[in-house]
Structure 1
């Protein structure tokens, strides 16, 4: 009597299916595809100096995208990320210009950014206001405040401490700035919080189903508030990194930060409906945005077309997310 061996389910799966089962595999393949396309268009794209530049250009948006990821994981969205970051640069630069200690100036700026996230989180978690409305209102308030504080104009920030994150080390023609190292460290720390702590598991649970999370004993309001507080802190740190990137406080800077941070999160595989995604994908998504803008610039594409293409990428990524939810 012969016996037939039934292959295990894992054995039936093709190698390609296993690869795409990894959440960050899709974004990584998109990143690789863009690199191949832009390298074929312009040979300077793969030069060490240009790759180093892409990393430096990704620092601010990449850091803002960490906070945006946390908020989107809870099924929210933050439309004020860029404005809060610029607020930090303006406050730190203005205080340093007036003669205040630079450490105190940067600390006050980070504290103010954290307070902005706390207020927004309090309105959303306490009064149950829609995140879209609250952050849209925050965007309007902070934009007006920026013009009042800066008197409508930009000014240089010459202090070495405030621009310290722009310094770095030269390794064989490749510049590694302290800002890039700080961004990667922040990704590692927040990844640990999300994946190795009870707090992180609760964040995912709230994003999946806040009512079910409440019924199993998770303090939903407190955890939701903590997400916005941490996001505000990250935006403040991003302000420090922004001063290292360009030592200039400009109320009109980072105008595409909202679009770019959301693009990085969504392309990285985090669902706008909450409860699914992670920081590895967001980091790859931030690199995709950096590679896209750098490659299009080398190709001579107008920045307005770059914004258009980035917006299309967001819509396509959300459409894929919606289709995948429907299949599940």
Structure 2
């Protein structure tokens, strides 16, 4: 009888492991719900519609950076320069408008410039076969220096209404506050999900990250796919720059210094594997919200920011360990 019970429990455990392996977003979603319930019970201010709106508003810039990061990580790469590229984008938009270039042209040129910088990283990774970590680490240093030189070490106020337009607040049912930046972020996430889930290009991205040699043998052009991934990610970073100006109407060369690490954290906590080929956009949304909920809840509980960083770091390590364990069992 004991053996039968043990066997049944083992079967249920295996079924759960398979379910989580096939649906990596389930674990992060459960963690998000637990965090929301815990902070709602632990504080009197967390379970408030205005607070939830504020949490989402706080997460859209890093969440959008994480969206581009998701594409790169799905190919078994990493982009340490994404936040630096976006900050450069904010400076370029502002300086171009200050030089009397119309806002729409400044916006488009800046997004194209962000895409060009990210594409350069993709070229170095795909054509010269340099490790993504080294390429984007070097690009981080380059873009940080370029941004500081271009900004002359000062912040620049944004003079054009279009560049701050995404900060415009609206109200749903006259009560729930949201911004146009939240709408644009939702459209970007939905479009990226569709492309990854429903198109041949998306299947190629997963194939390159999962088994690059097998992908090559099936006729997938790996170099072309990698370059396109970094280019699309760069466009997304450009939109993140636009959202950042909507959040704060000044271009600061020192902004989002930990944005790259925060975006990686959101992606990893959301269930996307650092080893590529597994995960997706929905998990990144959940991961970004987990980070924002955790920081908001701990702040309202009066917890020191150092302990908040400690908790986030523990979550990242646990997520990567879980991913490795799941992959090991699935082999």
TM-score range, shorter chain: over 0.9
Secondary structure of 2:163 counterpart: coil
Tell me what 2:275 maps to. 273
Structure 1 residues 122 and 170: alpha-carbon distance in aligned structure 2, compared to 1, 3 A threshold: same
- Asked whether 1:26 is paired with 2:27, we answer yes
Secondary structure of 1:46 counterpart: coil
In 2, Cα distance between the equivalents of 1:38 and 1:163?
Answer: 32
1:242-261 correspondence runs (5 A)? 242-261=244-263
In 2, Cα distance between the equivalents of 1:21 and 1:44?
Answer: 36
Could you list the per-position Cα deviations for residues 227-249 of structure 1 after superposition, in whole angstroms to 9, with x for gaps in the alignment?
Answer: 00000000001100111111111
- Asked whether 1:43 is paired with 2:41, we answer no
Could you list the per-position Cα deviations for residues 133-184 of structure 1 after superposition, in whole angstroms to 9, with x for gaps in the alignment?
Answer: 0000000000111111111121221321100001131124211111111111
Higher mean alpha-carbon deviation, 230-239 vs 88-97, is at 88-97
**Aligned-pair distance for 1:121?**
0.3
Tell me what 1:193 maps to. 195
Q: 1:296 aligns with which of 295, 298, 301?
A: 298
Structure 1 residues 131 and 42: alpha-carbon distance in aligned structure 2, compared to 1, 3 A threshold: same
- Asked whether 1:149 is paired with 2:163, we answer no
Contact kept? 2:17, 2:326, Cα under 8 Å: no
Tell me what 2:175 maps to. 173
**Aligned-pair distance for 1:75?**
0.4
**Aligned-pair distance for 1:14?**
7.6
Q: 1:212 aligns with which of 204, 211, 214?
A: 214
Could you list the per-position Cα deviations for residues 190-211 of structure 1 after superposition, in whole angstroms to 9, with x for gaps in the alignment?
Answer: 1111110111111111111111
Structure 1 residues 12 and 306: alpha-carbon distance in aligned structure 2, compared to 1, 3 A threshold: closer
In 1, Cα distance between the equivalents of 2:209 and 2:20?
Answer: 26
**Aligned-pair distance for 1:15?**
9.0
Q: TM-score, normalised by structure 1?
A: 0.92
* Aligned CA-pair RMSD: 2.0
Tell me what 1:98 maps to. 99
Secondary structure of 2:224 counterpart: helix
- Structure 1 residue ranges without an equivalent (≥5): 1-9
Q: 2:316 aligns with which of 310, 314, 318?
A: 314
In 2, Cα distance between the equivalents of 1:310 and 1:302?
Answer: 13
Tell me what 1:4 maps to. none
Structure 1 residues 136 and 20: alpha-carbon distance in aligned structure 2, compared to 1, 3 A threshold: closer
Structure 1 residues 91 and 304: alpha-carbon distance in aligned structure 2, compared to 1, 3 A threshold: farther
In 2, Cα distance between the equivalents of 1:80 and 1:18?
Answer: 34
Contact kept? 2:24, 2:272, Cα under 8 Å: no
Structure 1 residues 198 and 160: alpha-carbon distance in aligned structure 2, compared to 1, 3 A threshold: same
For this pair of structures, how many residues does the alignment match?
319
- Structure 2 residue ranges without an equivalent (≥5): 1-10
Q: 2:236 aligns with which of 234, 237, 248?
A: 234
Contact kept? 1:168, 1:176, Cα under 8 Å: yes
In 1, Cα distance between the equivalents of 2:15 and 2:115?
Answer: 47
Structure 1 residues 232 and 16: alpha-carbon distance in aligned structure 2, compared to 1, 3 A threshold: closer
**Aligned-pair distance for 1:29?**
0.7
In 1, Cα distance between the equivalents of 2:150 and 2:265?
Answer: 30
Contact kept? 1:20, 1:26, Cα under 8 Å: no
In 2, Cα distance between the equivalents of 1:21 and 1:137?
Answer: 35
- Asked whether 1:132 is paired with 2:133, we answer yes
